[in-house]
Structure 1
Amino acid sequence: MYELIKICDKSYYINSPAKIGLYLNGNDEVYLVDSGNDKDAGRKIRQHLEKNNWRLKAILNTHSNADHIGGNKYLQSQTGCKIYAPGIDCDFTRHPLLEPSFLYGGFPPKDLRHKFLMAQESDAEYLTAEALPEGMTILPLPGHFFDMVGFRDANDVVYLADSLSSKETLDKYQITFIYDIAAYLNTLENVKGLDAALYVPAHAETTDNIAPLAQINIDKVNEIAEKILLFCKEPLCFEHILQKLFQSYDLTMNFDQYVLVGSTVRSYLSWLKDTGKVCINFENALPLWCSI
């Protein structure tokens, strides 16, 4: 784990739970795509930098989930590097308490204020094209999180962040976190149509053909939506829909999964309501979802 893998010329990635891109700009100046999940990840990244006599110029965060920004604070304090993050995700990077608050829907209890859901805050700036090294471009990848992006570097390597999951991950967890279902499906269709030398997803193996995996992710989204519509043939409150999904997929619920999957299921219900497939009625002070 945390091996430095050379792709070609100046393009690398660090093989970690959420892959970290590394682009060598010139002889010694490095740009990272994300920073890992915590201070220990930051230390391992720094060891690679020191071993190769590289200087960290900037961290380009794809989005603000804790497993992608967890090394920010350590690396910034050690190197003085700049940190850039896109749109709303920049605010979450500056104020990480926003993430568990958003997921829980209120002030989060201590059970949710941990490094898996809440990184240490870092001094991030808004990502713009001017922050990138020559030859690198931003790829908008909304859906999984608010303003998530990926990057295409000068060697035609595309870093895809959390825009899709491996088949193994989908088989194990079934319901992966999605903030905006419509935007996520649109992103997956766009990813299917990308042409690049190599794709580096954060949570799947690198590949030169991303379309089949994108389709697997699309199929899983549609499968979950169909399950929800089936359950809602009888009016159900949200908690019962969530319970049925966990039972259907034989998933184990804990507090983290309750807020992560729960937030995702609410996003499915929003999408299904906006597309005219479910409605919500209020009976005896209880909101009930029903298929149309």
Structure 2
Amino acid sequence: MPLIALAPGVLYFPGAVNSFVVVGRETDALLVDTGLDDSHARKLLRAVAEAGLVPSGILNTHSHADHHGGNAFILGRFPELKVFAPPLEDAIITHPILEPLTLFGARPPRELQNKFLLAPPSPARLAPEPGLCRIGGADIELIEVAGHASMMYAVRVGEVLYATDALFGPDVLTKHPLTFCADSGLQKQSAAKLAELEGVRTVLPGHGESSDDLAGMVAVNLASYERTTEAVLDAVNGGEASIDELLARVCGALDVEMSNAGAVLLNRAVISAHLTELLESGQVEMKVLDNKLIFSAQA
């Protein structure tokens, strides 16, 4: 599959995770997000070569395995490349065990040490601070969009915005109603901030198809994020419960079926993030009861 042009010198490679490609000097190609695994990375490199380009650097917008899992394969072919990532995210990319360790709360069992939660390590360094910068010979603008991850950068090149996982395509939101987040409040703020950008003609989400309607995509995402908050609040209003009990209630309400331990941990984190938002807004309270952490509606 060839690279798809969004504007002169701005392309992407579609997949379960989109890889954004920015042309710099002559044939330099900055690769933004390298996909889940070697298979995606191999296809990405083939498409880049067919376009007459040569990788000049890697930027990972955040540290989730599906966005940096292809780094190791690409570095095996181009060992001179430098890998850049936002603060905190660079540490996880360098030491990927931090992701499943954080989700599980301890050394993760083997079932959780898979490519979806544990990518191969790659030596990441801090990306420049948000704003205009040059990476791998490409001139880009970094925009802070934390929330989905502890820190995350969207990338703008002229009239094109790669929103990464600050925004998702509508079909993706329908398929996965529990959108992952580390901070649901920040997730909403970051999405809303993108709607204020002027002059964006095309927006590409990390997952899903490109669109010429930034405001519409933001509105769909904000509505989805808010539905999750409301579902968590409804679950709490159904009677005091633990996080795992609330997770089961929310999955039942949103028709989510979990079939593996990784899905449970990821969705459990989503519930936790929205519970924190509800605690901070005074709609929910937390207590310890019978040696369990219990959440209930604010009296």
User: Structure 2 length as normaliser, TM-score?
Assistant: 0.92
Separation in 1 of the partners of 2:268 and 2:207? 21
2:214 counterpart of 1:210: yes
Is the 1:143–1:187 Cα contact (8 Å) retained in structure 2? yes
2:105 aligned partner: 105
Counterpart mapping for 1:163-174 below 5 A? 163-174=166-177
CA contact (8 A) 1:144 1:163 kept: yes
What letter matches 2:188 in structure 1?
L
1:240 to 242, 245, 266: 245
Give 1:131 shift.
4.8
Aligned pairs for 1:173-212 within 5 A: 173-195=176-198, 196-212=200-216
Higher mean C-alpha displacement, 87-96 vs 230-239: 230-239
What count of residue pairs does the alignment treat as equivalent? 290
Cα offset, 1:250, TM superposition: 2.1
Q: Pick one of 249, 252, 256 that aligns with 2:254.
A: 249
Q: Displacement of 1:134 after TM fit? A: 5.3
Contact 2:30 2:138 in 1 (8 A): no
Letter in 1 for 2:58: I
Identity of aligned residues (%): 25
Partner Cα distance (1:76, 1:266) in 2 = 36
Write the distance in 2 (CA, Å) between the matches of 1:237 and 1:13: 42
Deviation per residue, 1:136-186 (Å, 9 max, x gap): 111111000011101111x32111100122222222221110110111110
Query: Which residue of structure 2 aligns with residue 287 of structure 1?
Result: 293
Q: Is the Cα contact below 8 Å between 1:3 and 1:15 reproduced in 2?
A: no
The answer to whether the Cα contact below 8 Å between 1:31 and 1:60 also exists between their aligned partners in 2 is yes
1:123 aligns with 2:123: yes
| RMSD, aligned α-carbons | 1.5
Matches within 5 A, 1:1-292: 2-79=1-78, 80-128=80-128, 131-132=134-135, 133=137, 135-153=139-157, 155-195=158-198, 196-233=200-237, 234-253=239-258, 254-292=260-298
Equivalent position SS for 1:136: strand
Q: Secondary structure at the match of 1:232?
A: helix
Shift of 1:17: 1.0
What are the ranges of 5 or more consecutive residues in structure 2 without an aligned counterpart?
A: none
Q: Using the TM superposition, give the Cα deviation of residue 251 of structure 1 relative to its aligned residue in structure 2, in angstroms.
A: 1.6
Q: Which runs of 4+ in 1 moved over 4 A?
A: none
